[in-house]
Amino acid sequence: MPAKLPVRHLGPLSVSAIGLGCMNLSHAYLPPPDPAQAERLLLHAIDSGVTFFDTAAIYGFGQNEELLGRTLMHRRGEFTLASKCVLGEVNGQRALDGSPQAIAQVLDHALRRLRVEQIDLYYMHRLDPKVPVEESMGALVRALEAGKIRAIGLSEMSAPTIRRAHAVHPIAAVQTEYSPWTRNPEIAVLDVCAELGIGFVAFSPVGRGLLAGRIGREGVEEGDLRTGMPRFQPPHLARNLDLYDRLRMLADEAGCSSAQLCLAWLLAKGDTIVPIPGTTNIAHLDEDLAAIHLDLSPAILAAVDTLFPPGAASGGRYNAQAQAQVGTETWPGELEEQA
């Protein structure tokens, strides 16, 4: 029997308090795992009580959905499945297409790759500025009425956009990067989610690996997605690793790892927040899940807040090209640090 983890709620969905972000099993970070390793990781996650798996059409241009489809769907009744549309492949390149026709087509392809008839939570991965959000939402509502999805989500969108979308149909969850060094949701998104009864999914909760101690001063290898992110480039990387060293000292004081401290900090921010760390390593997954059971003192949690005030991280979280596709609110001066 699978282990049992505490649950949290995203709209009508009940999920493990920590889910699994599946992106780096097929996409973005190097080195990639071989398929057998990725499959073992997924099966270990579900056996360990993870009931929330997050993928997207863009991850490996469909390869990640195919991975989940062949690995997990014989246990379909045991977990909540999330995927995403709008940000995907257009003529072999990463691009946005939020037209109703594209959303319907991408969804049908996702259902086939995932080997399911229904996706539990289907996000607009980004807002396509060429298409009013109400039109994109209309396509998702039709998919819901047709039984192809159970609930609608939004990713990396601003509070005003969330309100507009929610006026068309209730949003179950909003997903945005959130961690001690990326606190943009605290500007407005968390407040609007609380007001409207929307769950919040925190991706990259351990700073894309840096706050977990997975990145050294040599940085990441060429071709890794993070090489294009200012925070992982000099001179920002050295400054951010100094922040990590101070975080690790706090974690040592608390008797946990720095990754666990980040996750426990997020879980303490509200009972509708669900972090989805990603990993290719079973030991790291076990470490992440153990954070659910930590009982950290208010003083330690407050010390994390003090160490990472808004703007503490050096460098923007995206370069200018990627930031142009993100609607999430930014802190004063943040966009000036994209280089």
3-state secondary structure of 121: strand
Question: Residue 61 gets which letter from DSSP?
Answer: G
In a 13 Å sphere around the CA of 147, the CA atoms on its Cβ side amount to: 2
Question: What amino acid occupies position 332?
Answer: P
3-state secondary structure of 91: coil
Closest CA to 208 of 186, 189, 225, 183: 225
- Answer yes or no: 178 catalytic: no
Distance CA 284, CA 94 (A): 30
Here the tokens at position 113 are: 């790759």
Distance CA 153, CA 144 (A): 12
Question: Residue 182 gets which letter from DSSP?
Answer: B
Closest CA to 52 of 292, 321, 314, 213: 292
Alpha helices, DSSP H, located in 13-158: 35-47, 63-72, 100-114, 133-145
Q: Which of 59, 122, 244, 318 is catalytic?
A: 59
Distance CA 289, CA 269 (A): 17
Length of the chain counted residue by residue? 339
Q: Provide the annotated active-site residues.
A: 59
